[in-house]
Every structure is written in C-alpha cells, then in structure tokens.
Amino acid sequence: MSKWFDIDSPIMVALSRLADMFFLSVLWLVCCLPIITIGPSTAAMYYVALKWARKEDVKLSTAFFDAFKKNFKQGVALNLIFLVVGTVLALDYIIMSAQEGTYGTISSVCFFVMGMWLMAIMFYAYPLQAQFYNTVRQTLINAAQLAVTKFPVTIAVFVINLLPLIVGFISLPLLIRTIPLWLLLAPGAAACVNAKMFAKMFDKFIKEATEKTE
C-alpha cells in the first residue's frame, strides 16, 4: 500500500499532473479575464503544455508568464482578428438563417462552414504562436493550411476542445453540475492532450527544416 504513495508511483505521478493541469487552467482563466488577453494567455498555456508533452522540466508559473509576455502583442492581434471575423460570420449566419428559400439555406450553410474553418484556424494558431517565431499573417496562413492538411488531427482537436458543448448537448443538467470541473481543469487538460499531437507534428516540421538547412 505504501508503494502507491511513493513520489514516483503511477498514482502520485497522475495526481501531480492533475494538480499541474488545475493550476495551468487557473492561470489561463485569470489571464483571460480582460478578454482581450485570451490570445497571449492561450499561447502561454500551450507553451507550457508543449514543454510537458516533450517531458521537459519547466516551472509552471515562470514559464507561463514568460510566454505570456513574449506572445502578448501577437497574441492580442490574433485574438482581435478572430473576434472581429468570428462576430461578422456569426451575424451573417444568423441573418441568412432567417431568410426563407434555397438562397438563405445555402448561404447559412456556407457561413457555418466558414465559421468552423475559422475555429479550426484558431485551434492551430495559438500552439503555432507558442512554438514558432512568425508574423501574425504567417501564423494564420500556417494554421489555415494545417487545418486542412492535418484533417484527422483537426477533428480530434475539435472533439477535445468542444467536449463541454458535446456534454451539454447530451445532458444539459450534467454540464451545469460539472461547470466547476470544466472551468478549473478542462482548459489545462485539453491543452495537454492537444499538445501531444502538436508536439509530434511540430517536431517533424523542425526536423525537416533542419535537414533542408544542412
């Protein structure tokens, strides 16, 4: 029994990682409060999660705030772009959904698909921002390409990031009862799961770029 509580036992390692994800979620939520800082906060969260995915030792709070500062300007710029474009697409979808006839139906479907693609771009943009030094424009271009070329990963990331909505669709009372869990653990947990896929993808890109340079 005592071996279960050894610092290197699977149980203690799992509890330690849950605690890390909890604190990562709290840091992300606190730094997202001004709304405009959602971008740099998400990039900082993925910076830490990518380090964990590669099994690198990192001090959570120090790494998070260092990444938050480094990604602040571009993170805010990305956030504003997604906010403005997302709002426009949402309004267009609402307006066209209210229209009767084939034109309204086709238009609303088009805006819905565009909205999903924008969301996919957003899901890739912040991890890319956390990993690579690029302009905002190039980050968006890379994210848009990955959203299409890495479609299986895109679907997996959608499911992971939108899991609370899926739970709410299945059972709204269950979602309401578990709101604290989703707020205080889900952001960090989702970032950690996604980071495992992103780390493999990014490491491959880095290796290919290094080989070309050599």
| Long-range own/partner contacts, residues 53-61 (CB < 8 A, 24 or more apart) | 53/192, 53/195, 53/196, 53/198, 53/199, 54/199, 54/203, 60/20, 60/23, 60/24, 60/27, 61/23, 61/27
How confident is the model over 161-177, as a mean pLDDT? Answer: 89
How confident is the model over 38-52, as a mean pLDDT? Answer: 96
Give me the pLDDT at residue 169, please.
87
Give me the pLDDT at residue 181, please.
83
Percent of the chain whose predicted confidence (pLDDT) is above 70: 93
* pLDDT tier at 9, thresholds 50, 70, 90: low
pLDDT per position as a tens digit, 173-188: 888 888 888 888 899 9
User: Cα(3)–Cα(170) distance, rounded to whole angstroms?
Assistant: 40
Give me the pLDDT at residue 124, please.
97
pTM: 0.89
**25 contacts 185 by C-beta, under 8 angstroms:** yes
User: 36 by DSSP, 3-state: which?
Assistant: coil
**Which residue type does 96 have?**
M
pLDDT per position as a tens digit, 74-104: 999 999 999 999 999 999 999 988 888 888 8
The DSSP result for 15-29, as a single string, is HHHHHHHHHHHHHHH
* pLDDT tier at 193, thresholds 50, 70, 90: very high
**Which residue type does 163 have?**
L
Give me the pLDDT at residue 42, please.
96
